[in-house]
Amino acid sequence: SQQGEEDPQALSIQEGENATMNCSYKTSINNLQWYRQNSGRGLVHLILIRSNEREKHSGRLRVTLDTSKKSSSLLITASRAADTASYFCATDARSSNTGKLIFGQGTTLQVKP
Amino acid sequence: GAVVSQHPSRVICKSGTSVKIECRSLDFQATTMFWYRQFPKQSLMLMATSNEGSKATYEQGVEKDKFLINHASLTLSTLTVTSAHPEDSSFYICSARALSGHVWDTQYFGPGTRLTVL
């Protein structure tokens, strides 16, 4: 079942601009992960942020987590055409210890050169 | 990050035949492997959770006799689509995850298998 909502569903920006994607979820979580998927490919792991963390950086990526609002955001700075892809957030429900992830619907990002 | 492979990457088969997809974690031992299905322009749909040496746990609505899962070792899981029909055509993705103590590590995904049933 999908518990995550992501917005926007689609985002189109110019190269060099920043892209922000948001994810909301419904239940308490242990951690939240962001993935990227290029068309027809598997998912590439970007960042894992644990429930006791508020912000995490990796290169041009910045992820925030607000557990009180049950939301997370992914910021890509200085975007490049190669960042064009779909981005998904996925959560580990605290109530379950199966390792299962619940995925959001994804945001399709297009970066125009 | 860790590497998960899938084979084959693409398969075309005739209706009524069975297709086996392999998923391997190449550089770590996976406590659990997962199988997903993805339709065009949609998110991933979890089909089943698989642990080594035990029966897979299927999500609601997924036919266990249709999608046979075997998890032979900590690094290999297979999904067999039995008596495939055109409606089984889809993108199948596996993933693998390790449990360190009581904490789950990152879930790593394979590159996916595109199945086309004629």
Q: Which residues of chain B carry a pLDDT beneath 50? A: none
- Which chain B residues contact residue A97 at CB under 8 A? 102, 104
Q: Name every residue whose Cβ is closer than 8 Å to that of residue A59 and which is 6 or more positions away in sequence.
A: none
Provide the CA A45 distance to its chain's centre, in angstroms.
10
SS3 of residue A78 by DSSP: coil
Query: Each residue of B29-38: pLDDT tens digit?
Result: 998 999 999 9
Query: Is the CB of residue B91 less than 8 Å from the CB of residue B112?
Result: yes
Contact A64/B at CB under 8 A: no
CA distance B49 to chain A (A): 8
State the DSSP H helix or E strand holding residue A28, giving kind and residue range, or none if neither.
none
Compute the residue count for chain B: 118
Whole-number Å distance between alpha carbons of A93 and B104? 11
Of A43, A48, A99, the CB nearest to B31: A99
Tokens at residue A82, please?
């190669």
- Distance of alpha carbon B38 from alpha carbon B9, whole angstroms: 14
Instruction: Identify the three-state secondary structure at position A82.
Output: helix
- Residue B100: closest C-alpha in chain A: A99
Tens digit of pLDDT for each residue in B62-86?
999 999 999 888 899 999 999 999 9
The residue among A100, A103, A110 with the most chain B CBs within 10 A of its CB, best to mutate, is A100
pLDDT band at A1 (very low <50, low <70, confident <90, very high): very low
Q: How large is the greatest C-alpha to C-alpha distance in chain B, in angstroms?
A: 46
Structure tokens that stand for B112 in this block? 């996916």
Per-residue model confidence as pLDDT tens digits over A54-112: 999 999 999 999 999 999 999 999 999 999 999 999 998 777 778 889 898 999 999 99
Å between B2 CA and nearest CA of chain A: 10
Using CB atoms, which residue from B4, B106, B112 is nearest to A33? B106
